[in-house]
Amino acid sequence: MPVENPITEEKRVLGKLLFWEEQLSSDNTMACGTCHRFKSGGTDPREARHPGPDGIFFNLDDKLGSAGVIRSDALAEFLSDATFGFDVQVTGRAANPVPMAAYAPELFWDGRASSTFIDPETGQVSISQGGALESQSVGPPMSDVEMAHEARDWGQLTAKLETVTPMALATNLPDDMAAAVAGGATYPDLFAAAFGDGTVTAERIAFAIATYERTLIPDQTPWDLFIAGDDDAMTPGQIAGWNTFRSGQARCDQCHTPPTFTDHTFRNIGLRPIDEDTGRQAVTGNFGDRGRFKVPSLRNVGLKPTLMHNGGVVGADLEDMRDVIDFYEEVNGHNQFNENRDPLIPGINVPGNQEAALADFLTNALTDPRVAAGIFPFDRPTLHSEVLPANPEIVGRPTPGQGLIEPTVIAVSPPNLGSTDFKLGVHNARGGAVAYVQVSPTPFVAHTRLDWRGPVELAGDGPGEGFGTWKWQLPHDPVFVGTDAYMQWVVLDGDAPNGHTARSETVHVTIF
């Protein structure tokens, strides 16, 4: 805990709210917690593929990262991305765990979130040492891959938090979160409770989120209980695995040093060729750091759906702890890349009769049951993005336009009461055409003309190259809660098979 940001209960609760607040993103679809789920060890359970540096999907340099936002320009209007088109963008590295992050002097796989925290609004040093969590927390909200439209700034985000209803999108709030927002508390109210006045700033957002994250300490594993004197906390097999873990042959504890189970260094283990990702070198500029990545804590590693900085199951084919052990020993089809490989790696040796016990220790004895079960402080709300059926929900079929190409709707924005960020997109339409959005309180009868909103002149040129965005200020009046709306893009297209229009799928929303 840095002296500049002492832990208080009010700040912790505010940080918990902000961590799970999807309205922290520019399109209301992403929270910090979207990519950091406790039951997955604090990492991302969603499988999302990045094509790697060659830009080609489904080959050996692919990575499993985290799905973020659909690319949008500075006006928050949808754009086609060169890699992902109009699908959500995906990060080039796997998400790091949040539990235990409080102990790291630098964060992210390459350590670019430094111990010195610089206020992104003022450029001044806010924390001289120990502020890696603060440094990390201000990255994703401004990333136009993870949470933001292009050119988003902190003034836009802080102004938004001053007006939105806290946790308007989430359900099943834990008791501490529910109590904080009871009675209609606003974010300025919550900032006032935590900081003395209601001013919302980037520094305070970082301070609050980091404070919450510093309380996420998974220190009730079977190993912790065993070390504290409970001889029955680990099974005989896990005890054997613990002994192997710290043996001179396996060398595990030289990098994954107890009790944090990391030494916080950056090392190249030979996982993939350096030209796929230079890692730490991109931060330091040091040639000797090429291909080095942060040594992660092994606590709760048994809950993680992916392993290593690239997601593990691509290229290296690391699906579980037995695979990881085989990788370090270069057996059963696993190979390492030698360039700048850490000198500790080639000497690792786990005798075959000890591999199962070591895997058991890593998978089970280092898992805190509170993390696995989502029990306080590892409890959380249900995010809107997790609710099924989805709202908005895409239903119905499109009708083709020029070239028999069917317009495709983009519908991801939650239709919450009073939202200023609701938008509907279309692509695969006729470039340069004029389009409208048809809105109805009931499902459409084929080709009826009801309430047309627009017009929107589509960008692009030629069949299937058109795209556009329509924005809708949802009403503030609570009388509209529960109201259904059906929406469909109508593209004026004289070359459509019917000679008049092409239409997207229908989108059904229920205002909440």
pLDDT per position as a tens digit, 91-122: 999 999 999 999 999 999 999 999 999 999 99
Q: What is the pLDDT of residues 308-342, one digit of tens each?
A: 999 998 888 899 999 999 999 999 999 999 999 99
In the prediction, which pLDDT does 449 show? 66
Q: How would you list the strands of the sheet with 408-410, edge to edge? A: 408-410, 423-431, 462-471
Alpha carbons 437 and 443: distance in angstroms, whole number: 14
Does residue 396 share a domain with residue 271?
no
> For residue 377, what pLDDT is reported?
98
Q: Name the 3-class secondary structure at 194.
A: helix
C-alpha–C-alpha distance, residues 214 and 376, integer Å:
14
Distance CA 409, CA 456 (A): 14
Q: Is residue 52, in this structure, part of any structural domain at all?
A: no
pLDDT over 70 at 448, yes or no: no
**Cβ(306)–Cβ(313) below 8 Å:** yes
> 32 and 151 in one domain?
yes
Do 105 and 212 share a structural domain?
yes
Tell me whether residue 372 is in a domain: no
Q: Which CATH number do you get for residue 168?
A: 1.10.760.10
User: Do 113 and 178 lie in a common domain?
Assistant: yes
Final residue before a domain boundary, out of 367, 397, 431: 367
For helices 202-213 and 187-195, the axis angle rounded to 10 degrees is 70
What's the DSSP call for residue 147? T
- Structural domain tally of the chain? 3
Q: Are residues 344 and 440 in the same domain?
A: no
From residue 79, alpha-carbon distances to 83, 143, 333, 401, 425 in Å are: 12, 15, 42, 21, 10
Domain-embedded: residue 235: yes
Question: What are the distances in angstroms from CA 470 to CA 1, 141, 436, 456?
Answer: 45, 23, 8, 7
> Quick one: pLDDT at residue 450?
74
Does the pLDDT at position 202 exceed 70? yes
Place of tokens 């002097």: 105
CB 26 within 8 A of CB 147: yes
- Per the structure, the complete domain to which residue 80 belongs is given by 9-47+58-218+378-385
CB atoms closer than 10 angstroms to residue 338? 10
Taking 90 as the threshold, does the pLDDT of residue 454 lie above it? yes
pLDDT above 60 (res 447): no
Residues 81 and 199 in one domain: yes
410 and 458 housed in the same domain: yes
Residues 75, 222: Cα–Cα separation, whole Å = 51
User: How many Cβ atoms from other residues are within 10 Å of residue 347's Cβ?
Assistant: 12
The answer to whether residues 204 and 237 belong to one domain is no
Mean pLDDT of 483-501: 96
Q: Is residue 154 part of a domain?
A: yes
CA 267 to chain centre: 24
- Give the closest residue to 132 by CA, choosing from 112, 108, 105, 109: 105
The answer to whether the CB of 148 falls within 8 A of the CB of 25 is yes
Pairwise CA distance, residues 31 & 25, whole Å: 7
Q: How confident is the model at residue 255 (pLDDT cuts 50, 70, 90)?
A: very high
Question: Is there a domain that residue 34 lies in?
Answer: yes
What is the average pLDDT across 131-158?
98
**Interacting residues of 456 by C-beta distance below 8 A, sequence separation 6+:** 434, 435, 436, 437, 468, 469, 470
Give the containing element (helix H, strand E) for 501. Answer: strand 501-510
Task: Indicate if 214 and 181 belong to the same structural domain.
Answer: yes
Is the link from the previous residue into 455 a cis peptide, with omega within 30 of 0?
A: yes
**How much is the pLDDT for 103?**
97
Is residue 4 a part of any domain in this protein?
Answer: no
pLDDT confidence tier of residue 446, bands split at 50, 70 and 90:
low
In a domain, 1, yes or no: no
**CATH number of the domain within which 417 lies:** 2.60.40
**Hey, what are 323's tokens?**
């695979």
Domain-embedded: residue 53: no
In whole angstroms, how far apart are CA 12 and each of 8, 193, 220, 491? Answer: 6, 11, 21, 49
Of the pLDDT bands very low, low, confident and very high (cuts 50, 70, 90), residue 445 is confident
Same domain, 139 and 159: yes
The whole-angstrom separation of Cα 422 and Cα 414 is 7
Q: With pLDDT > 90 as the criterion, what percentage of the chain qualifies? A: 97
Question: Is the same domain home to 278 and 189?
Answer: no
Same-domain pairing of 233 and 186: no
SS (H, E, C) 421-445: CCEEEEEEEEECCEEEEEEECCCCC
Residue ending a domain, choose from 385, 414, 438? 385
pLDDT (tens digit per residue) in 351-401:
999 999 999 999 999 999 999 999 999 999 999 999 999 999 999 899 999
Last residue of a domain, one of 357, 385, 413: 385
Residue type, 11: K
Residue-wise pLDDT for 261-274, tens only, equals 999 999 999 999 99
* Confidence label for 178 from pLDDT (cuts 50, 70 and 90): very high
